[in-house]
Amino acid sequence: MSEGRRRDAARSRQLLLEAAAGLFAERGFDRSTTREIGERAGVDPALIARYFGGKAQLYLAVLDLDRAGVRPADLLEPERNRGLVSGVDLRGPGPIFRSAVDPLKEPSVRDAATEQLQWRLVEPLCERFTREGLDRPRLRAELAVAAFVGIVLCRHGGTLGALAGADPDELVPLVLDMLGQGA
């Protein structure tokens, strides 16, 4: 392969990551199509499969971009909690939230989603609970994450009317109170 083609491949991959990051942030995973991502990037959408394996893997690659930075705040931080609730309200649940309750079929995608779930949600809580000297910090963190994921997925699903209709400013303090019980 020529040097020019390799540079073009790297540039196309970067353009896809940037376009996907924008669309996923604006519209969420489900409402972003590979065609739209390719159009926004100015490249053939078939390159998503070539460079990433598919849309789910591209989503996870976008999330992995900020892993070099500081670990996100934990779920007991009000702004973090509000941001996650509002994000799912706005864009729907992405593969990470879904992977907590319905493991993805593709092993590499499932493993990447699990790793992201651990890094973004479980580990920050586990660190907090360890600092606070609580027993079984990992189990406590996983229980809190499971409860939180259940809350946002049920809210998004709309079958629990009061939960689905609650204003985030009303909901978040109740969620924080519930998650903080026994902590």
| Gap between the Cα atoms of 155 and 163, Å rounded | 6
Higher pLDDT, 145 or 6: 145
CA atoms within 13 A on the CB side of 127: 12
CA atoms within 13 A on the CB side of 91: 19
Task: Give tens-digit pLDDT for 68-118.
Answer: 667 889 999 999 999 999 988 988 887 788 778 877 677 777 788 888 899
pTM for the model stands at 0.78
| Gap between the Cα atoms of 53 and 85, Å rounded | 29
Task: Give tens-digit pLDDT for 21-68.
Answer: 888 877 777 788 999 999 999 999 999 999 999 998 898 888 777 666
- Among residues 140, 105, 108, the alpha carbon closest in space to that of 121 is found at 140
Residue 17 carries which side chain, given as an amino acid letter? Answer: L
Residue boundaries of the structural domains of the chain = 3-65, 70-180
* Cα end-to-end span (Å), the chain: 57
At residue 1, does pLDDT exceed 60? no
Element (H, E) at 74: none
pLDDT at 68: 62
* Residue 164 burial (CB count, 10 A): 13
pLDDT at 79: 94
Higher pLDDT, 92 or 154: 154
CATH class of the domain at 3-65: mainly alpha
Q: Show the tokens assigned to 90.
A: 């706005």
pLDDT at 7: 59
For residues 109 and 60, the answer to whether their CB atoms sit within 8 Å is: yes
DSSP symbols for 93-111: --HHHHHHHS--SSHHHHH
